[in-house]
Each structure stands twice: as structure tokens, then as C-alpha cells.
Amino acid sequence: MRWGFGVLAVVAIGGAACASSGPAAVVHAQLREGVRAAQRGYWQEALFRFEKARAAEPSDPEVLNNVAVALEALGRYDDALATYKKALESGAKPTALRRNYARFAEFYSSYAKGAKPKEGSDAAH
């Protein structure tokens, strides 16, 4: 899968920015660092940060969306699918989550049928 869309799929920090202490502050700080890592293409670091945010807010749909995007970027498609589904089950469905899941579901249906992403598809010829 091509990651030229960059961090368009990574959700902005959102409502967690309102609090200055407690779990919301942890979520905000970890999401901010995760987004920075993702913008640089450091998806493993981004996932680490998003998982820290998830530990503080395990059912927050924006946090779960970020986790799913990072998993997707790392090629962990089954884990990404499960995380997207958990985010969608939370009730709240931010626009970015719906958009990311729709894009991923389209890709995943082809992937599940055996159309694996080509290695080096981003390489210049």
C-alpha cells in the first residue's frame, strides 16, 4: 500500500487539548508526539506514542483511529482492521475515522482476496 497520503489519515489532537493535567494531558502529549513521528515517517515511534495515549483513553475513537493508521502504515492490516472496528463501535464517529476506515476497507477487501501490495511500489524507476 502506498503511503504517499502522508499523515492526512492521522487525526489532529482534537478535544484532548482542553485539559492541562490528568489522563487528557497524557493523551494530548502522546498524540502530539505520535503525529510528529508519523509526519517524519517514523511509524513505529508513532504507534508507540499512540499506544501510550490508548493506555490512558482505551476507547477514545480519535486515539484508536491514530493507532489503526499507524498499524496500517506498518503493514499490520489485521490489527488495523480490528482497531478501526473497535473505534467505530465506540459510538462517536469523527469524520477522519469514517474516511480512514472507508479507504482502508476498500484496500483490505483486495488484500484479503490475495492482492498483496507490491514491494517497492513507491520506488522511482
Q: How far apart are CA 99 and CA 106, in angstroms?
A: 11
- Contacts with 21 (C-beta within 8 Å, 6 or more apart), sequence order: none
Contact present, 96 and 65 (Cβ < 8 Å) = yes
Residues in the chain: 125
pLDDT tens digits along 37-74: 999 999 999 999 999 999 999 999 999 999 999 999 99
For 76, which DSSP code? Answer: -
Contact present, 107 and 1 (Cβ < 8 Å) = yes
Q: Which CATH superfamily hosts domain 18-112?
A: Tetratricopeptide repeat domain (1.25.40.10)
Mean pLDDT of 77-100: 93
pLDDT at 13 over 80: no
Helix and strand numbers, DSSP H then E, in the chain: 5, 0
pLDDT at 50: 98
